Amino acid sequence: MSGSNLPPGVSEHMIPGNRPEDLREEAFWDQFGTRLTGANINGFALDKPARSANYVELDDLWDNPTFVEIIQIARDMGYECGFDEGRAEEQMAQAMEHSDD
């Protein structure tokens, strides 16, 4: 008898929240929050009045320097992640080339 209560053929990494992509997303949001805190961004006020508290037009957000800074932080994180993945793939490709020699 196994100690697992999962259905046959199911492993823990298949469960939402435990999948690799879920773990990467969770790490992204943790790092994003850390970077926003590091940039001392806790919130921002709109420069223009909104129609209501529940609705803000995107054009109004792009005019807000703090919102733009938030987007830049997210963009930089995406670039860093893509760069790191590309570098790792290139290193693996080079290692494979040298192993064939």
pLDDT tens digits for 18-46? 777 888 888 888 998 898 899 998 887 77
> Quick one: what percent of the chain has pLDDT higher than 70?
86
pLDDT (tens digit per residue) in 81-96:
877 778 888 888 888 8
Query: What's the per-residue H, E or C state across the chain?
Result: CCCCCCCCCCCHHHCCCCCHHHHHHHHHHHHHHHHHHHCCCCCCCCCCCCCECCECCHHHHHCCHHHHHHHHHHHHHHHHHHHHHHHHHHHHHHHHHHHHC
4/32: higher pLDDT: 32
Average pLDDT over residues 45-71: 77
CA nearest neighbour of 67 among 51, 45, 50: 45
Backbone dihedral region for residue 42 (phi beyond 0: left; psi -120 to 50: alpha; all else: beta): alpha
Across the chain, mean pLDDT equals 80
Specify the pLDDT at position 44.
77
Per-residue confidence at 47, pLDDT binned at 50, 70, 90?
Answer: low
